[in-house]
Amino acid sequence: MLSNNIFKVGQIVEGYKIDNLIGRGGMSELFLAHDIVLGKKVVIKVLKEPYSENEYFKKQFLTEARIQANLDNPHIVQIFRIFTYQKKISLVLQYIDGTNLARVIKRAKELREKEGKKGALSLERGVHIFLQMLDGIGYAHRYRIIHKDIKPSNILLDKQGLVRVVDFGLSFHLPKGNIKKEKKDEVIAGTPYYMSPEQILNKKVDFRSDIYSLGITFFYMLTGCFPSGPNKDPDSILRFHLEGSLDYPQRILEEHKEIIPRIREAILKAIEKDPDNRHQSCLEFSLAIKGEKLDEMYSELLRRALSKKGIITLTERSYLDKIAPKKGLSLKDAMVLETNIRKEMGLPPLDFALEYKMAFLDLLKKKRHENSIFLDELDNTYVRKGRLTKTEARLIREKVQLARTEK
């Protein structure tokens, strides 16, 4: 029965024939529909009342559409278009013929319980699914998108076992040079079981907040329980995220003999209270699970940075410099490694003068060239690290500014 819903069975709206209601969330309703022109199934997500009349939630819904529509990755559900019907915003989403991870975990847990065993997914299946999740979320992170609501119900699996991340309703774009902090009048939202400490406290958040939520999710996938313990009281759950020891989750992981030490350590690192002590990216988390060597982790980050335009941005270079010592690489070692990778990829040799020029041009375009924070980062990365002399850096800046003036 759809009598109380915005769409009716058989109704044609914007070229889509409504089949039936397939889900209700806190703020929206999901309808299975048929694209009449293309002859394929789609899902229409509608912002329901009273949220459809609230400017904040309407803006958030549109943000979700714009963010998700620009993330072209096989592990992220696509958005095809957006339209308004009876003053209610509607998103047309890719239809996934399958189920969500929450149901998969529930079923696996029930089967284990029937056999008198603990846990949920097998290690092999759990890792297979989770690495796909990391690929999808990691892709979003590369475009500076933070999801903020990672949980099993927001992970879909099709009948071939392909994973897709959905529901970017709480996500936002992280501006370069800034870390997101919610405004006082903004709604702090999320799912208590999976929220990071910084998200709960309304503090500054970055990609590592998603790493925490991913760690909690992976823990639940393999054990069928939460690191916060069996207590379902929201206050107790949030207290664990803020103050709880990792002794209990470590003990639970150790009780599951199938979970090998490398995986246990990767999960526990992901759910550290301090973001600086977690994996610093989805790639690092992924490689920790696979057991890759630390220098290989650095190499993969470097290859990904070079694969875009063959030149490293200031942000990328600063990040690579930050993690190189953690991977046991000196600045000289890192330069040798990059030289070899560039040859392997058929790219021009290292040219720090060109890199500095492109970085300064970027600051000029974004009107950040007089901001001491960005200039200090530029100076620290290229001059203090010995890649360029002060004179070389100054001459490059002068030439760039002169060229722009002559235009």
Name the residues annotated as catalytic: 149
Q: Is 32 left (phi over 0), alpha (psi -120 to 50) or beta?
A: beta
Are 190 and 148 in contact, with CB atoms under 8 Å apart?
A: yes
Q: Closest Cα partner for 265 from 255, 275, 279, 276?
A: 279
- First and final C-alpha spacing in the chain: 66
Asked if 205 and 229 count as a contact pair (C-beta separation under 8 A), the reply is no
The whole-angstrom separation of Cα 303 and Cα 316 is: 11
Cβ 383 vs Cβ 364: under 8 Å: no
Residue 149 exposed, middle or buried by CB count within 10 Å (0-12, 13-18, 19+): buried
Residue 141 CA to residue 23 CA, distance in Å, equals 28
How many C-alpha atoms does 374 have within 13 Å on its Cβ side?
A: 20
Rounded-to-integer distance, Cα 14 and Cα 22, Å: 19
Tokens of 198: 């910084």
AA letter at 112: R
Peptide bond into 50 cis (omega under 30): yes
Phi, psi angles (nearest 5°) of residue 210? -65, -35
